[in-house]
A and B are shown apart, each in its own frame.
Chain A
């Protein structure tokens, strides 16, 4: 039996009783039916009571379908063989709640922590990070390369295993969880004094994105209105975050092919972009700017003008650095055709963000699920079709240009708005409600979903960082590549470890 999901807009809360609670097999059938009709699995999770939730993103209809169910007591039939997008969500459910997805083709731990129920589906006596049943290619001419958790650069920890035939990578398997600090578990029973801080540091380079997605959820549950000035500030800050990181990534890509001019220029320019965020709120990463109910800082006319002038200066130099990179034949020779993902594979794996758009998949929450100032001012969505490192580089450059144009207009709009409050603190949260907040961070879609208990406290709070989907993309991109191209492919995704590990 199939049923219609409840349809929610981005930043909307709905009483749990208004969300269809389906018998488990109907829940799975409905998910498959919706996916066959063009929806995408944005979230699948369970809670302490064994209740299950699915969020289906429908870009074409600009809405989300939401379903509930009750998981069977100990095990359930895995959806993954029919729906690869579910693979990590089901592994996560297995790890967190000890529910066994039967016939899951790749059932391994996600973050290497004890189950919240104490029931370990792998029946391990002790849990050691990165210790699992790795996929192996056997044969006399096959060798294995293991890297991490501690890497050679100033980057986060993760363990990578390459199955190689000579220089060619047949398969890459990625084991994460080293940064796991228990964020979702800590959010239960909140909001607490540390809730916003944990959201800001879920992935520290995506402070604005995660804080905004969290704010959307809290505002929906409290039914509060955000002042107009705050809408402008949030959108400006989110695009500045994108500018800093895209610029840094293009510099890092240049560095990985030995093109040092752009590597050096962009390293400095990334800091210039971060300093614009510091102009807003004192923190280069945007700490304490976005809060439930609005933003913590405002700009006066002089500061708006300063921001505008520095934006233009940083953009002029960024354009110079990136145009040089993308006009250098030896760079393009290394970028083009490297780390290619076919569109169907990206779709199957449920990729999001620039990595998905580089394969021609139109997925951008700013376009499809706009909130705040994105409802007033449309940003053109940038698509590419080659799915390789070059496409992921071109997407970033095109998005940099679009973001700068967007900020110019947002600053004009902000200057014309009457002065007034930027923050109206949220009141109590509606009990027994479910709320969704989705923001297009610089890596892609950030999904926050909260369910309140009968007293209006946060019950289950689910965070889906874009890296949750996209690490699989990196593994796919490495197939058939030379192992020496791994740093380049890795940088072309530049995924978050802590955002995945939570």
Chain B
């Protein structure tokens, strides 16, 4: 079980209710498992912010894992460890 901090912004923050939350991720302790855990805890309001309803797939976005940038499209098997910090960079468009 890995306890990680998740930093959130904008509409994701609105769903999670805080700038930073702590969450425990069961084995296998991966980034993908973290998002599944978040989806279970926060339900449909969370899912609809990050999963594309047309395809059912996770939308493309960047994630900061301990100051390293990873991708939702390719890096969900990345291992996470107790004490890790994860920031969800909500799908970013231009202004």
A binds B: no
